Amino acid sequence: MTKIAWITGSSSGIGRALALRLADDGWTVAVSARSADSLEALAAERAGKIHAFALDVTDKAAVTKTFEAIEQALGPVDLAVFAAGTYTRDYAKGFSSDVLEGMYKLNVFGTAHCLEAVMPAMMNRKNGRIAVVASVSGYVGLPGAASYGSTKAALNALCESLYPELQQNGVHLQIVNPGFVDTPLTKKNDFPMPFLVTSEEAANTIADGLKADRFEIIFPWKMALSIKFLHALPHRLRFALTKKILR
């Protein structure tokens, strides 16, 4: 029996590459993003396997309606991957609460809207898997990522809090913490990105990780090791290192 996946943020980057990978693995994939044209182009690449459902995840009512439409058209969702998000560099100079609010609306509340729609259905069925795409930047406050990093830290804490209850009700929740991935968002960076991987490499790692029982999917391993080491340092040593990142 064909399994059904729903991926948000799938018009480009990791979401798009993962949709193609899952379709090639035999899944029927519902893809969502704000760009209807990009979704239709993606669906055309795997006709009959990928289905477009345009959506702005910041619209709570639209998220609920879209999830209901997907299940009505394709069947119960077995896997939901919430990858919609945005990224803007920001610093103390010129810091804007509007930028922070905008990133929280999409990265955190957009994800929360999706969780609110999906979790009850999966818990009622006592079956399903949810993956939330965050970032290694959620581990440590890095210069230039005040708003972005804090949204990803929020997603990590949110998922850690929800995990036990979901697990108790037959739903497996995972957090995905990538390092630097070559996407339209990271192309805006004007600094060297260590251990950079392609969207396809990221999608393959995530797809493999979704088959496992572990809570966290973190990659590449060199970046994972570096960020966890940095996180473990006393603040004095950590700030001595992160200060070198200032531009």
Q: Nearest to residue 15, comparing CAs of 98, 149, 132, 142? A: 132
Q: Global pTM?
A: 0.94
What pLDDT was estimated at residue 34?
A: 96
| Res 97: pLDDT | 97
* pLDDT number for residue 190: 57
Domains of the chain (ranges; CATH) run 4-245 (3.40.50.720)
Cα 111 to the center of its chain, rounded Å: 8
> Catalytic site residue 87?
no
Which run of H or of E encompasses 5? strand 4-8
pLDDT at residue 193 in the model: 64
Report the SS3 class of residue 139: coil
Provide the pLDDT for residue 180: 77
- In SS3 terms, 27-43 reads as CEEEEECCCHHHHHHHH
Q: Which residues pair with 31 in a beta bridge?
A: 7, 52
**pLDDT tens by residue, 53-75:** 999 999 999 999 999 999 999 99
Please say if the pLDDT value at position 188 is more than 70.
no
> What per-residue confidence (pLDDT) applies to 247?
66
Distances (CA, A) of 175 to 37, 42, 49, 180: 29, 25, 25, 16
Tell me which of 91, 104, 148, 163 is the catalytic residue: 148
The pLDDT score that the predictor gives to residue 181 is: 79
